[in-house]
Amino acid sequence: MSVSNKEMANAIRALSIDAVEAAKSGHVGLPLGMADAATVLFTKFLKHNPADPDWADRDRFVLSAGHGSMLIYSLLHLTGYDSVSRDDIRNFRQVGASTPGHPENFVTKGVETTTGPLGQGIATAVGMAMAERHLNARFGDDLVNHKTYVLAGDGCLMEGVSQEAITLAGHMKLSNLIVLFDDNAVTIDGGTDMADNTDQCARFEASDWATKRVDGHDPADVEAALAWAQTQDKPVMLAVKTIIGYGAKRAGTGPAHGGPYGEEEVATVRESIGWPHAPFDIPSDIEAAWAEAGTRSKADYDAWTSHANASPHKATFDNALGDALPANLSDVVNAHKKSVVEGGKDDATRKWSGAVLEKLTEAIPEMVGGSADLTGSNNTKTAQTAPMTTSNWSGRYVHYGIREHGMAAAMNGMSLHGGIVPYSGTFLVFADYSRGAIRIGALMGERVIHVMTHDSIGLGEDGPTHQPVEHVASLRAMPNMMVFRPCDGVETAECWETALRNTTGPSTMALTRQKVKSARTVHTDKNLSAKGGYVLSDADGAQAVIIATGSEVEIAMAAQTELAAKGIPVRVVSMPCMDLFEQQSESYQQETLGGSLPRIAVEAGVRFGWDRWIGYDGGFVGMNSFGASAPYQELYAKFGITADAVVAEVEKRV
Ligand X SMILES: Cc1ncc(C[n+]2csc(CCOP(=O)(O)OP(=O)(O)O)c2C)c(N)n1
Residues carrying an active site annotation: 404
To the nearest whole angstrom, how small is the minimum distance from the Cβ of residue 428 to ligand X?
A: 23
Residue choice 29, 170, 235, 354 for contact with ligand X (CB under 6 A): 29
To the nearest whole angstrom, how small is the minimum distance from the Cβ of residue 106 to ligand X?
A: 19
To the nearest whole angstrom, how small is the minimum distance from the Cβ of residue 507 to ligand X?
A: 24
Our finding on whether 217 is near ligand X (CB under 6 A) is no
Binding footprint of ligand X, residue count (CB under 6 A): 21
Per-residue buried b or exposed e for 68-85, using 16+ beta carbons within 10 Å of the residue's own CB: bbbbbbbbbbbbbbebbe
To the nearest whole angstrom, how small is the minimum distance from the Cβ of residue 112 to ligand X?
A: 18
By beta-carbon proximity to ligand X, the closer residue of 19 and 647 is 19
Site for ligand X in 98-157 (CB under 6 A): 116-118, 153-156
Q: Max alpha carbon distance in the chain (Å)?
A: 95
Residue choice 5, 14, 27, 163 for contact with ligand X (CB under 6 A): 27
Query: In the 3-class helix/strand/coil scheme, how is 355-424 assigned residue by residue?
Result: HHHHHHHHHCCCEEEEECCCHHHHCCCCCCCCECECCECCCCEEECCCCHHHHHHHHHHHHHHCCCEEEE
What angle (nearest 5°) sits at the alpha carbon of residue 400, between those of residues 417 and 181?
60
What is the rounded distance in angstroms from the CA atom of residue 203 to the CA atom of residue 461? 38
What is the rounded distance in angstroms from the CA atom of residue 476 to the CA atom of residue 485? 11
By beta-carbon proximity to ligand X, the closer residue of 33 and 506 is 33
Our finding on whether 65 is near ligand X (CB under 6 A) is yes
With CA atoms as reference, report the closest residue to 431 among 509, 516, 515, 353.
509
With CA atoms as reference, report the closest residue to 621 among 649, 597, 602, 599.
602
Pattern 548-587, ligand X, x by CB under 6 A: ----------------------------------------
Which part of the chain contacts ligand X (CB under 6 A), choosing from 26-34, 198-206, 261-269, 593-601? 26-34
Site for ligand X in 326-365 (CB under 6 A): none
Residue 452 is given by DSSP the state E
Pattern 238-277, ligand X, x by CB under 6 A: ------x------------x--------------------
To the nearest whole angstrom, how small is the minimum distance from the Cβ of residue 39 to ligand X?
A: 17
With CA atoms as reference, report the closest residue to 244 among 156, 200, 185, 181.
185
Residue 466 is given by DSSP the state T
To the nearest whole angstrom, how small is the minimum distance from the Cβ of residue 159 to ligand X?
A: 6
Residue 243 is given by DSSP the state -
By beta-carbon proximity to ligand X, the closer residue of 154 and 488 is 154
What is the rounded distance in angstroms from the CA atom of residue 487 to the CA atom of residue 519? 7
Our finding on whether 7 is near ligand X (CB under 6 A) is no
To the nearest whole angstrom, how small is the minimum distance from the Cβ of residue 194 to ligand X?
A: 12
Which part of the chain contacts ligand X (CB under 6 A), choosing from 18-26, 180-188, 361-369, 404-412? 180-188
Residue nearest ligand X (C-beta atom) = 153
By beta-carbon proximity to ligand X, the closer residue of 117 and 460 is 117
Which strands form 507-511's sheet, in the order they lie side by side?
397-399, 367-371, 421-427, 449-453, 507-511, 482-484
Q: Is 298 exposed, middle or buried (0-12, 13-18, 19+ CB in 10 A)?
A: exposed
Side chain identity, residue 138 = R
By beta-carbon proximity to ligand X, the closer residue of 116 and 294 is 116
What is the rounded distance in angstroms from the CA atom of residue 197 to the CA atom of residue 87? 42
What is the rounded distance in angstroms from the CA atom of residue 652 to the CA atom of residue 379? 41
Our finding on whether 184 is near ligand X (CB under 6 A) is yes
Which part of the chain contacts ligand X (CB under 6 A), choosing from 40-48, 184-192, 262-270, 356-364? 184-192
Q: Determine the distance from the C-alpha atom of residue 611 to the mean position of all C-alpha atoms in its chain, rounded to a whole number.
A: 29
With CA atoms as reference, report the closest residue to 404 among 123, 64, 85, 90.
123
Residue choice 124, 176, 187, 353 for contact with ligand X (CB under 6 A): 187
Our finding on whether 64 is near ligand X (CB under 6 A) is no
By beta-carbon proximity to ligand X, the closer residue of 153 and 619 is 153
To the nearest whole angstrom, how small is the minimum distance from the Cβ of residue 275 to ligand X?
A: 21
Give the interface with ligand X as residue ranges (CB under 6 A): 27, 29-30, 65, 67-68, 116-118, 153-156, 159, 182, 184, 186-188, 244, 257
